Amino acid sequence: MFNYRALFTAVVLLVSVHGAVRAEGDDVFTLSADTSLVRDSNLFRLSSGANTMALIGRNSAAEQINTTALGVRAAKSYSLQRFEIGASVVDYRYQNFNYLNSVASNYDAAWRWSLTPRFYGNLTNSRRESVNSFVDQQGYNIRSQRVNYDTRWDGQFEIDGTWRARAGLSQGSQNSLQNQATEADTTTHGADIGVAYAFASGSTIGYTLRNSKGQYRNRVLPSVSLLDDGFTQVDHDFRIRWVMDGITTAGLHATGIDRTHPNYPQRNYNGIAAGANIKINLSGKTSLAVDWVREFSAYQDDITNYTQTDRLVVTPVWQIGARTNLRLRHEIALRDYLGSPTPVAFSTRTDTTRDTTLALDWQPHTSVTLSASLQDARRTSTFAGLDFQSTQTTVSARFAY
């Protein structure tokens, strides 16, 4: 059920302070309350032949999840500087599997700095807490949360009217409540430098060299499973954004990735990630976006070093009215589990996932947004027991003042 008491309290709070809040110019102060109800037919993404009683202690993996969130956001400009800060608390409540209940706290802050109108950038910091997806997690009777911390500084200098030079420094960490060997807890430091050319039409072309060093925590060497305690990754990233006309934009990117490990080079991998996208405004009320991307990601177990995912997403949007829109999102992805840390030949795992979501958004008032969606997600795999099918229905409401 909806957490009506929490929602009512939040709405009363928002209404009571709304009259006292004032925004001047670009200054912003916003309070928000969100609530959603999700009905999932297969929370743990179990195959149709799975013994659900043995795995999760119930005859069905269906679940109802109620989420309530309270947030605040503020922004203030001083001359060429702008400061932004936001924070939220999210309460997750499960009807049948209440050991998964959790409360997440998130925040983000940014300084949009500028020394001159031609030399500017960002200093950002954020904390994001979420529940790990059961698509890849096999521990059904434990709550697994993930916390990500990210800090980044970047700067851009407009050399003239068209050329831009840019650089950045970043630090991040990923921490999971339950250790996952395939995606271990990490701390990462990175630096990047690049150049871009901006055309008068709005099109851009750019190159970025990125170097990252990461350390895996909670790993002890030597490792029987050849799990290293760190890595280095170098990326050469090329990107093009093309504004064709007033109704069509397109993008292309290609990134050469080379990841190495200091103690177990058997875990090294490299490849070319790439992507292409196009968005067309078919009319004043309809648009169509098509995206294709090839991604690489570390995934370390006894027979795999990394995954290669080819993903195609088609997203048409129909603006039914001034305050109502209908969205369809269809995604198909092919994921190959590649690279072996040993010379022994293993059968290769390949997954195909299909995800279709139909969503309706209605904004009856500038401060209120109501949404409903229906999602069908399914996977087929060359490994037995990994196929699944799930249906999700979601209704949500957002209040912001």
Instruction: Write the pLDDT tens digit of every residue in 126-153.
Output: 999 987 778 876 667 777 788 999 999 9
Residue 180: exposure state from Cβ atoms within 10 A (0-12, 13-18, ≥19): middle
Q: Which of 135, 151, 143 is nearest to 176 (CA)?
A: 143
- Residue 264: per-residue pLDDT: 94
Asked if 335 contacts 350 with a C-beta cutoff of 8 angstroms, the reply is: yes
**So what's the pLDDT on residue 114?**
97
CA atoms within 13 A on the CB side of 275: 23
Determine how many CB atoms are found less than 10 A away from the CB of residue 63: 20
CA distance 241 to 201: 11
| pLDDT of 15 | 44
pLDDT score of 178? 67
Closest of 121, 131, 119, 57 to residue 93, by C-alpha: 131
pLDDT at 17: 43
Which has the closest alpha carbon to 401: 31, 20, 85?
31
| pLDDT score at 182 | 66
57 — alpha (psi -120 to 50), left (phi > 0) or beta?
A: left
Which of 214, 170, 219, 166 lies closest to 190 in space, CA to CA? 170
Query: For the domain 39-60+77-91+107-400, what is the CATH code?
Result: 2.40.160
pTM as predicted? 0.86
Positions in the chain short of pLDDT 50 = 1-24
Cα–Cα dist 259/213, whole Å? 10
pLDDT given for residue 181 in this prediction? 58
Give 349's contacts (C-beta < 8 A, 6+ positions apart). 303, 304, 336, 337, 381, 382, 383
CA 124 to chain centre: 17
* Residues 272, 266: Cα–Cα separation, whole Å: 19
Instruction: Please report which helix (H) or strand (E) contains residue 221, including its range.
Output: none
CB atoms within 10 A of CB 117: 8
Alpha helix segments (H runs only) across 96-186: none
- Taken as a whole, the chain contains a residue count of 401
Q: How far apart are CA 5 and CA 372, in angstroms?
A: 21
**Strand 230-243, strand 306-321: pairing:** unpaired
Structure confidence at residue 138 (pLDDT) = 62
